[in-house]
Structure 1
């Protein structure tokens, strides 16, 4: 069945996927807290994979790349609540803390949050909101975000250092970033933004380094990774097409055959 998403305001979202398996890319522009209500969530980053089960919660930092694989479990669909900690609310919150000094740093990983009554009661209090026949008042939405910030600060000593960072991505090493994140299927504009470049500058710098366009290079890299997974790791096409940046199996098979002259299935059978 189709994905059901209730979005009273963009900051607080209830999502329910009754599909057996659903895949999506995530590049969050805001820090987000995610609570898995049922099912399982697999989060794949460039260098690490996380599994979150029913009742588990984590902070997904802003401007991080990940692939999300949502799966039902124990005859229940995947269901989750996502609370986005918007820049406006965070800035207003820390404006009142301006007498306190925080050493800002960017986290390079998802942060699992320990189970406890504060988080449990916070998410339980929001479930009735999704039965409303009208939009959640913005004032209440902002209050819930402030409550989430206060809870995070109380259960994790490093939160102030992360949440008080309001800087934009700065210009970083393009080659290191692309070699680490090429398997993520997102717009070229987003690759540019996350490397601290405008689209024009990104394409220009990319051409200087690689001698080709980002689109051609990305396709080549993803297909090479897919061939390695099939030939050397003995994995099945259905297991790796999502992880290598393709949206569906048919497109993956078509592109693979166009590049190598045989389909992924034919390569698997030859092993």
Structure 2
């Protein structure tokens, strides 16, 4: 994978993937405002799947799990401008609220946001850009979002850290995301030690064994009920490469994904 990134500040970057494919399971610590210059992205969350292409603008709320799959498109690399809307920047504009949103918000082709984000392009080629300019651009983006989306404060003003929640329901909803156990423990409001202890009490097995079994069961369902392709299923249920996925699938069920598909 050839990946290139240029930064104005740590909160504003121009991201470019020139390979055929890039996949990552991610939890963002802050809200992410993204403008698509070229390429295509598929974002899979627990309850929804999104597709984004050239010209699209969207906001991913913080502390949400997602599988992100990036592709080049029409001979162009996957290229985006990404702006981090951190708590430190937002707290100057918003009063904290406890509401939480997992929905990705679309603002495709909105002229104000597109003008704001496209105006950043020349800055990526400059050296020693004053940080005040970058701060002004973030402030502009926040002001535009609040002007065009009257409900956005309920998303942006969520500054709280995750509290202790029901472990079973959270893991049943989010097992497909291949993240370190430290992330799962944080998002369920536990230390890693407490997470492992509570997990054993709830599921009577280790997290890794349970996660592997659940991901393979979901994969089996996708093959049988949705007629999905192995390459798509592999990445969407939390595996990182097709050969390891096929090996684990056959070990679990006694036949490979290809053999299962051939029976149908």
TM-score by length of 2: 0.93
The answer as to 2:178 corresponding to 1:191 is no
Q: Secondary structure at the match of 1:145?
A: helix
User: Which whole-Å deviations, capped at 9, do the CAs of 1:183-225 have from their partners, x for residues lacking one?
Assistant: 0111111011111111111111111100111111000101111
Question: Match of 2:22?
Answer: 22
Question: 1-side partners of 2:217 and 2:173: how far apart?
Answer: 14
Question: Match of 1:60?
Answer: 60
Report the Cα offset of residue 135 of structure 1: 5.4
Report the Cα offset of residue 7 of structure 1: 3.0
Question: Match of 2:259?
Answer: 266
> Residue 258 and residue 103 in structure 1: after superposition, are their counterparts in 2 closer, same or farther (change >3 A)?
closer
* Map 1:178-257 → 2, pairs under 5 A: 178-257=171-250
Which structure 2 segments of 5+ residues have no match?
A: none
Which structure 1 segments of 5+ residues have no match?
A: none
> Residue 136 and residue 245 in structure 1: after superposition, are their counterparts in 2 closer, same or farther (change >3 A)?
farther
Question: Match of 1:45?
Answer: 45
Report the Cα offset of residue 136 of structure 1: 4.2
User: Which whole-Å deviations, capped at 9, do the CAs of 1:20-56 have from their partners, x for residues lacking one?
Assistant: 2221122111011011111211111111111112111
Is 1:104–1:162's contact at 8 Å kept on the other side of the alignment? no
Q: How many residues get paired?
A: 264
Question: Match of 1:111?
Answer: 105
> Residue 74 and residue 205 in structure 1: after superposition, are their counterparts in 2 closer, same or farther (change >3 A)?
same
The answer as to 2:115 corresponding to 1:121 is yes
> Residue 113 and residue 223 in structure 1: after superposition, are their counterparts in 2 closer, same or farther (change >3 A)?
same
* Map 1:162-181 → 2, pairs under 5 A: 162-181=155-174
User: Which whole-Å deviations, capped at 9, do the CAs of 1:67-109 have from their partners, x for residues lacking one?
Assistant: 1111222221111111001111112333xxx6xxx86521131
Q: Secondary structure at the match of 2:226?
A: coil
RMSD (Å), alpha carbons = 1.8
Q: Secondary structure at the match of 1:242?
A: helix
Question: 2-side partners of 1:140 and 1:212: how far apart?
Answer: 52
TM-score by length of 1: 0.91
